[in-house]
Amino acid sequence: MNELLSLAAVLLGSALAVGLVIGLNAVLGGWTPSKIDSVESAAEALERDVLGFRAGGEAVAATDGRAALVMEADGARLGLSLSRGDIIVSRALRPGEVRRAEAQGARLVIIMDDFTLPRVFVTLADEAEARLWADRVTGFAKGPEQET
Instruction: For residue 100, count other CB atoms closer than 10 A to its CB.
Output: 13
Q: Is there a domain that residue 43 lies in?
A: yes
Residue 97, exposed/middle/buried by CB under 10 A (0-12, 13-18, 19+)?
Answer: middle
In a domain, 102, yes or no: yes
> Domain of 124: which CATH number?
2.30.29
Residue 63 belongs to some domain of the structure: yes
Domain membership of residue 23 (yes or no) is no
Per the CB < 8 A criterion, the answer to whether 97 and 111 are in contact is no
Tell me if 78 is assigned to some domain: yes
**Domains in the chain: how many in total?**
1
The structure's pTM equals 0.75
Q: What is the pLDDT of residue 143?
A: 55
**Which domain, by its residues, includes 73?**
39-141
Burial of residue 18 (number of CB atoms within 10 Å: 0-12, 13-18, 19+): exposed
Q: How far apart are CA 20 and CA 16, in angstroms?
A: 6
Is the residue at 125 inside a domain?
Answer: yes
**Positions of the chain with pLDDT under 50:** 146-148
